[in-house]
Structure formats: C-alpha cells, structure tokens
Amino acid sequence: MKEDTIRSFVSGETSANQLSEEVARSITRFDAVSCNVTIEDMQQDFCLTRAHVLSLCDAGIAGELNQEAMSTIAFALLASDHFEWDDGVISEALYDWSAPEINLPLEPDTLKMHRNWLLGLQEPAPKPPLDPAKRHGRLVLLRRKVHPEDPNTDPRETDLAREFISKIQSKHP
C-alpha cells in the first residue's frame, strides 16, 4: 500500500474501491494473529484533518472500506513518518480503529460514534481501566510495517517479538 494512495483518497482523488484493493494486496498473513503490512512511504509530509479522517469513517459506515481495510489504514497512518495531525480526537479514532480486537469493534454504530467525535457533536468517552483479572496474556495481534524492499518475514521472527512472546508465555503457561 502506498501512503500516497491514502493521501489521495482522503483528498478525494482516489476511490474507496481502489484504496481497499491496495490495502488487501499489502497484507501478508502468517497465522490468525500475525501479519506484515507492506507500506511505501510518501516523500512529503501531509497534515491530516478531521475532514480527511471523516472521509475514511464515512467509507467505513457505507461499507466501501471493510473492517480489515479500516484497521490497516489506521495502522499505516499511525506508523507513518509523513502523516501529521495535532488533534487528540483524530488520534483517539485512529487508535480505536487500528486495534478493534482491543478497543471497539469496527461496526456501523461505533463508526457513527467516531463520526460524531470528529464532527464535535460528542466527546470521546474515557476508556475504562484494564482489569488485570481479565488479562490472560493472549496475543491478539502482531502487525508489522515493512517497506516494499524489505524481506517479508513473519513478524514473530524478530528479536523483539520473540522476547515479547517469551515473556507472555512465561507469565501465562
């Protein structure tokens, strides 16, 4: 996936279908929880506004971008060195979308809630504290950004991932 395609979509220059297809081609799955996302960086910076993020939200509500596409796009935006924003509501929405397994499911009702946040009609609700009793140490997602020229290896094979997985397994055999 090219960051330029995301920029082009939020600027109204590319269709949701074209973005969705590019997102799908960028994902390499290794198992139920681990994948790589191949992302080609933009060469210039781009300031993301609420209107830009609303275009993604509206495409999700309309079913033009499926849950996996929305989550992967949010991940790409958060992992980017070239997309910028100075807005806590944008950050809150993108973090929610990037990990629906942990945060909120990417369903029309939650996307409409995010839409209301972005429009300033509703304030983001505070996140409930994590309940340590409910933590089972189960890995729900391991997603890694890779560049087109990088080897597309299983993200579990990196030293950092092996160390993280080992810690989880030692605490929760």
Residues 6+ apart with CB under 8 A from 60: 67, 70, 106, 111
For residue 132, the Cα-to-chain-centroid distance in whole angstroms is 25
pLDDT digit string, tens, across residues 40-55 = 999 999 999 999 999 9
Total residue count of the chain as it appears in this document: 173
3-state secondary structure of 139: coil
Q: What is the pLDDT of residue 119?
A: 96
Name the CA radius of gyration of the chain, rounded: 17
Distance, CA of 142 to CA of 144 (rounded, Å): 7
Q: What are phi and psi of 89, to 5 degrees?
A: -70, -40
Q: What is the pLDDT of residue 158?
A: 64
Q: For the chain, what is the domain count? A: 1
Q: What is the pLDDT of residue 148?
A: 81
Q: What is the pLDDT of residue 16?
A: 97
Residues 6+ apart with CB under 8 A from 109: none
From the first residue on, what is the mean pLDDT of each consecutive set of 10 residues in the chain (173 residues)? 98 97 93 89 96 98 96 97 95 93 86 95 77 62 79 62 62 55
Q: What is the pLDDT of residue 157?
A: 64
3-state secondary structure of 42: coil
State which residues form the domain around 130: 3-171
